[in-house]
Structure 1
């Protein structure tokens, strides 16, 4: 009986751990300098929690911004809760780490993209596009045009 090392899932776990570590620091110390995050997540994830009007408006995925105002950041083992402002209306969200599709900090040109087995490769999956492509892409186009870190080359 042989087994393979699942590098793709191991990388995803490590990258989600990195996001958790960053958010724990932000919860304790606030956002330093010009740091801010664009976080795209699957609104249909069974453990994601958001207002009905938000899930109706964003039935597949949604990009939120953590920058000037956020409240009640509570970082857990499997995800994080946060209150964000949507048109002057504070709304609580719970985002599981495994619902996150992209995590970008444009202030330092850092970005992660999580591929799922259902995602169609965009171009040559073994050569990720530069981070600048995601940063300079309008927010409404980010979810379709950006490849930051692609793990498809590690999958069988």
Structure 2
């Protein structure tokens, strides 16, 4: 089996995380336009995540936040974003690295992305060393989530993307995956 030295899967992940970064930067600069709002699910145990202890206890693995009506102080950098949200009328500051995000959705646009677990290595060298030592399953590109699968409550995580059961659109190891197959027709 040929070795993927260029790591296109990681390039795709980083490019799509850039979509989230850019959308948040636009909202930080001008506010949410129209009926747009975001569901962002992230790993609470990921390196760099800063949330209140009681939130980490309530959501030990993943947490979904909604950026819609009540949010303050959205600050976006190249590596993370920080935002203040209200939890039971208590304002809490959250710092979330983009690498910790597992899904992003804007139901108003019927747009969503689901991400693989990030390795934490930005230059690829450390990650290359780890991948050479331990075999892993072939990478699956981030997929578009259907808007109806999302929940409107912040207390529950967003639903997972449906799994393909048929052969059509199924990614095989070493095959080219076109993003058009994930778009609604």
Q: CA deviation at 1:147?
A: 5.0
Residue deviations 1:74-123 (CA, integer Å, cap 9, x gap): 001100000001011110000000000000000010000002389xx9xx
**Is 2:41 the counterpart of 1:26?**
no
- Structure 2 CA distance for partners of 1:154 and 1:98, relative to 1, 3 Å: farther
- Give yes or no for contact 2:63–2:157 (8 Å, CA) kept in 1: no
TM-score (norm 1): 0.80
5+ residue gaps in structure 2?
Answer: 120-136, 164-169, 175-185
Structure 2 partner of 1:114 = 115
Structure 1 partner of 2:89 = 88
Q: CA deviation at 1:132?
A: 3.4
Structure 1 partner of 2:161 = 146
| Equivalences, count | 144
**More helix, by proportion:** 1
- Structure 2 CA distance for partners of 1:130 and 1:59, relative to 1, 3 Å: closer
Q: How far apart are the structure 1 equivalents of 2:24 and 2:172?
A: 27
5+ residue gaps in structure 1?
Answer: none
- Give yes or no for contact 2:64–2:157 (8 Å, CA) kept in 1: no
Q: How far apart are the structure 2 equivalents of 1:103 and 1:129?
A: 9
1:134 to 126, 149, 155: 149
**Is 2:79 the counterpart of 1:78?**
yes
